[in-house]
Every structure is written in structure tokens, then in C-alpha cells.
Amino acid sequence: MPKNPLASPHLVDLERALQTTLPMAHIEVGPLPGLAELHLALINADFHTGPLPAEVMHNVIANPAYWAFCWGSGLATAQWLARQPNIVQDKDVIDLGCGSGVVAVMAKLMGARHVWACDTDPDALLATKVNADLNQVEVSLSNNLDKVPDNLDLLFMADVLYDRSNFVLLAKAKNKAARMLIADSRIDDVNDPEFRVIHHMQALTYPNLGEFDEFKNVCFFEYSDN
Ligand SMILES: C[S@@+](CC[C@H](N)C(=O)[O-])C[C@H]1O[C@@H](n2cnc3c(N)ncnc32)[C@H](O)[C@@H]1O
């Protein structure tokens, strides 16, 4: 069923948040590659990627707006869930480092029982709210993993370990859910023998504003407590 791009009252706030970082950008609502059922509000695909003014570069570094892109690992996870909805069906799920909320929203669309989306960036939580609205699903938002209930069935992390300091999240994340699926295009090892590689896919960040092909290989790592 086509989604109504006007179905979130927060779209205006989201565009304002994007323009705090990139004043010349705007929000576009559209389907993801290969996923006609999932519409996201993201940065305009024709955003000019030439050299940015110094002041804008400063904004990008201070407030990077990762949420305005669907990263390759989030896209690959959503595409995988479209083919195998049983991974999330009737499960309590969390998307840690949700960004746009791509995995959280797709999990709910594919039949998850309850979905939490967690991100330390308040604008990512706003983006996830907008994207949940656009796809007419409910997702619970949190800025702190400690505030999310324990004993969940499944925890996703998609392209969060690009920042090596986030490896410390793994121990806490393992205690949150019986199963954990990490999708990452930036790393080929999580340095934890309790994880095993279970799947590979190829996907680039969308919209693709010139991401290098070297980041197209998405590796899925699984941890299970049984
Ligand atoms: C590269 S983006 C990926 C977003 C999304 N998962 C996707 O695939 O499109 C990483 C996200 O992780 C969030 N993040 C980074 N460190 C975090 C932390 N310690 N706890 C929760 N979120 C975090 C960032 O704010 C950002 O939104």
C-alpha cells in the first residue's frame, strides 16, 4: 500500500534538524532500494557533495546527522528481514544505534511484537518517530539502553561499530536480548569468540553520495545465549 508522505506531523521538525547541520539540504520521502514497502525520510538524493563551506564542515563534524542516511548495513538488514520475516515475527526487538530507524521500522512492519529503537542522538530518535509514522507502525524510543527492558528476544546493531569506542556496548548489549545480530560494513571481526559470522550481503548507504565500494560488503555476526 503506498505510504502518505504527509503522515508525520514531525517532518517539518526533522527538516529543521537536518538544516541545522546542512542548511542547503532537504528531506525527501521515498522507498528504499529493493524495498517498496518501506518509506523513509532521508536527505535529498541529489544533495551536492562538492566542497562544503568551512562553517558547514564544522557543523557536520559537531552534529553529523547520520540519521539522514540509511546506512548500508541497515539497508541490508531490512532487505534480509523482507525475505525472512520469521527472524522478527512475534519477537520483542531492539534496534541499537537506530539512526533513521530503518531496522526498527522494518522489524515492526515484518511482524515483531514490540520494537524499541535506541540512539544517543535525539535527532535520530526524531527521525525514527517520523519514519515509524510514515510507515504507520509503533516503535518505542529511548536514548539510553539501560532504560530499555531486559529479556528481549533480539537486538540489532547496524553500522554502529564504525566507532571503535562503541565496542564497549557489546557486553551490555549481550545482556539485553537472547539473540544479537550485528550487521557491519566497516569491520570484519568483533573480537569476541561468542559471535559467529552467519551471513553476508552487499549494500551501500542510501542515498549514496559517493560512498566507496570498499564499504559495500555487509557482514552479519550472531550471538545467541543458548
Ligand atoms: C552509522 S549510523 C547507523 C544508523 C542505522 N543503524 C543505519 O543502519 O542506518 C550509527 C548510529 O549509532 C548511533 N550511536 C553511536 N553510538 C551510540 C551509542 N553508544 N548508543 C546508541 N547509539 C549510538 C549514532 O548516533 C548513529 O545514529
> What integer pLDDT is reported at residue 4 of this predicted model?
55
> What integer pLDDT is reported at residue 52 of this predicted model?
79
Q: Grid coordinates in use for 60?
A: 557536520
State the Cα torsion 41-123-153-181 to the nearest 10°. 70
> What integer pLDDT is reported at residue 209 of this predicted model?
82
Determine which residue's CA is closest to atom 10 belonging to ligand 1.
160
From residue 126, alpha-carbon distances to 14, 119, 164 in Å are 7, 10, 25
> What integer pLDDT is reported at residue 134 of this predicted model?
96
Q: Which atom of ligand 1 is nearest to the CA of 72?
A: 8
Binding site membership of 184 for ligand 1 (Cβ less than 6 Å): no
Determine which residue's CA is closest to atom 25 belonging to ligand 1.
121
> What integer pLDDT is reported at residue 1 of this predicted model?
47
Catalogue all structural domains in the chain, each as residue range(s) with its CATH number.
Answer: 1-226 (3.40.50.150)
> For a substitution probing ligand 1, which of 43, 160, 170 has the most ligand atoms within 8 Å of its CB?
160
Q: Which atom of ligand 1 is nearest to the CA of 121?
A: 25
The DSSP-derived string for the chain is: ----TT--TTHHHHHHHHHHH-TT--EEEEEETTEEEEEEEEE-TT---SPPPHHHHHHHHHS--GGGSB-HHHHHHHHHHHH-GGGTTT-EEEEET-TTTHHHHHHHHTT-SEEEEE-S-HHHHHHHHHHHHHTT---EEES-GGGS-S-EEEEEEES-TTSGGGGGHHHHHHTTEEEEEEEESS-S--S-TT-EEEEEEE---BS-SS--GGG-EEEEEEEE--
Binding site membership of 219 for ligand 1 (Cβ less than 6 Å): no
Mean pLDDT of the chain: 93
> What integer pLDDT is reported at residue 211 of this predicted model?
72
Q: What is the distance between the alpha carbons of residues 128 and 123, in angstroms, rounded to a whole number? A: 9
The model's pTM is 0.95
Residue among 5, 42, 15, 9 nearest 135 (CA): 5
> For a substitution probing ligand 1, which of 70, 79, 120, 145 has the most ligand atoms within 8 Å of its CB?
120
Q: Which residues of the chain have pLDDT under 50?
A: 1-2
Q: What is the distance between the alpha carbons of residues 137 and 37, in angstroms, rounded to a whole number? A: 12
> How many CB atoms lie under 10 A from the CB of residue 153?
17
91 exposure class (CB count in 10 Å sphere: 0-12, 13-18, 19+): buried
> What integer pLDDT is reported at residue 215 of this predicted model?
85
> For a substitution probing ligand 1, which of 81, 119, 129, 168 has the most ligand atoms within 8 Å of its CB?
119
Binding site membership of 74 for ligand 1 (Cβ less than 6 Å): yes
Q: Give 47 Cα–ligand 1 centroid separation in angstroms.
A: 22
> What integer pLDDT is reported at residue 128 of this predicted model?
98
Q: What is the distance between the alpha carbons of residues 191 and 200, in angstroms, rounded to a whole number? A: 18
> What integer pLDDT is reported at residue 6 of this predicted model?
54
Q: What is the distance between the alpha carbons of residues 169 and 167, in angstroms, rounded to a whole number? A: 5
